[in-house]
Every structure is written in C-alpha cells, then in structure tokens.
Amino acid sequence: MTNADMAKQVAEKPGFIAALDQSGGSTPKALRLYGVQEDAYSNDEEMYALIHQMRARIIKSPAFTGEKVVGAILFERTMDGEIDGIPTAEYLWTKRNVVPFLKVDKGLADEKDGVQLMKPMPELDALLERAVAKGIFGTKMRSVINAANAEGIAAVVAQQFDVGRQILGHGLMPIIEPEVTITIADKAEAEEILLAEILKQLDALGHDKQVMLKLSLPTKANLYKPLVDHPRVMRVVALSGGYSREEANNKLAANTGIIASFSRALTEGLSAQQADSDFDAVLADTIDCICEASKAG
C-alpha cells in the first residue's frame, strides 16, 4: 500500500524534507533570489508559471531523489500542476521516490498577544479531499510566534492541533508549524512555553494518532528531544527560519533526531541563469550537506 510505504519513509528514512511551498506573498522574493526579476512577468499567472518552472527544475535534478530527500512540501498550484505531463505529486512519488506534502494554510492573521494565528480556512475540507485524490501524504500549516507570551503561544498551538485533527480526519498526516521568529529577544523563553503547550496537546491527542512538527531551530540544543521521543509524533523537522544554510546546518547538527525541512536554505545558490550542469552540481552539494546535518543530529 502506497500510504504505508510513504509513512515508513517519512518516519524512518535518513534525509530531509524539501520545502517548495512559497505561496503568493513570498513568490516574488523566491524568484528574485533565483535571478528572476519582477519585469520578467506581468501578472500572477506568469509569475506562478515561472516559480513552477523553478520547482520542476529542482525536482527533476538528478540528486533530488528519495535517497536523501525524504519528502517535499508543495504549494497548492504546484500540486495542481504537472511535470512532464504527470501531476506533480504523482511525479514526485513514482519518478523520484519523494513523499508529497501540501501547504494548506491561507496565510497569517494580524498579530495579537505576540503571535499570528492562521487565517480562517473555510474551504479546507474541499482542499483536503482534492489532496487525497492527488496522492498527497500530508499537509503543512504555519503560525508565527513573535514574543514569549503564554496566552498567545497557547492559542497558536491550540489552533494548530484543532486543524490538525481535521486533517487527520481525511487520512492525511499534518505537519504542525508554530514558527518562533529567530530574531526576537526572548526566543529561548518562547521556546520553553511552546514545548510545554505542544506536550499538553500531544498528550490529549489520542493513543491511535500521530502528527509531525516543524519547529524553528531552538536556542538550547536538544530542547525538543521530548517531542522527538514522543509516541504521538511521527517526526520532528526544522525550518531554516532566515538562517543561512551554513548556520542552519550547524544548529541542526546539534539537535538529536531532528531533520531539516528547509526552503530558502535549500535554494540558496541556485539561479535561472545557470547551465543545467552547474545548477545540478550546486543542488547536489546542497542536498548532501543538508542531509549530513540531518543525520548528524
């Protein structure tokens, strides 16, 4: 059964999860870093076509396989697109042996109590049904924590787990992502509060359920080891959060049992202007070093 094979790979295989899920607001920045300026497109459709080309180039690159890339998180339009005439999620699994995930949140609400909750998702059930039909294994959704505010952090984690239960109801694996902003002065305190709130929610989840967690690299190494070891957690992955790839890899390597799920740190050094041979070489080196940092932990 495909889902059982996917679950085994996500839970056990060495490697990391690629985050290829930049959405509307972050797409122009992702394209700029890739060497594609705003004057290269005149509307959203052209912009999304260009980012799809970039993602397809990454996915088709020789090093981008399940040997080191356990899974990949897609943006909704990427899921709806195709690579070489094959739906993207199907291509990932059947051609690259990479498990497909889908970003499902619709962005962030305004800040309150030092955090940004997710915006309402009234069409989530319909999106999840489409994801299941397209062979998606799991989902990802992001909130942001900007201060060590106990009330705010509790609200973030409660919302994440409420939506997580809705996702589990569709037979999908939710990646819960309460990102702690890496530049805040009270980051370490925020992380301690976050850990306690996640443990509360995990203990209330039910013995037959699991989730995944995507967390900012902690100030204190191995702070999240209780989450790595928790029976309700399939896997803990880390976002790069604005750190350079070198910084992110160094911090990741200090955390036992956590693997990477990098976005900007994955595409760092890639350019639309590169010949395929140069592009493939840079990406192969990147995949190697992120994979090694994930194993080192």
Q: Show pLDDT as tens, one digit a residue, over the chain (297 residues).
A: 468 999 999 999 999 999 998 776 778 988 998 999 999 999 999 999 999 999 999 999 999 999 999 999 999 999 999 999 999 999 999 999 999 999 999 999 999 999 999 999 999 999 999 999 999 999 999 999 999 999 999 999 999 999 999 999 999 999 999 999 999 999 999 999 999 999 999 999 988 999 999 999 999 999 999 999 999 999 999 999 989 899 999 999 999 999 999 988 899 999 999 999 999 999 999 999 999 999 986
Hey, what's the torsion of the CAs at 148, 151, 153, 159, to 10 degrees? -170
Q: Give the residue carrying structure tokens 């013995």.
A: 207
Phi, psi of 10 (to 5 degrees): -65, -40
Q: Which of 263, 267, 272 is nearest to 282 (CA)?
A: 267
| Contact call for residues 67 and 15 (beta carbons, < 8 A) | yes
Q: Give the residue carrying structure tokens 């010949």.
A: 275
What positions carry a catalytic annotation?
Answer: 177, 214
- CB-count burial class (<10 Å; 0-12, 13-18, 19+) for 42: exposed
| Contact call for residues 121 and 76 (beta carbons, < 8 A) | no
Rounded to two decimals, the pTM is: 0.95
CA distance 103 to 113: 25
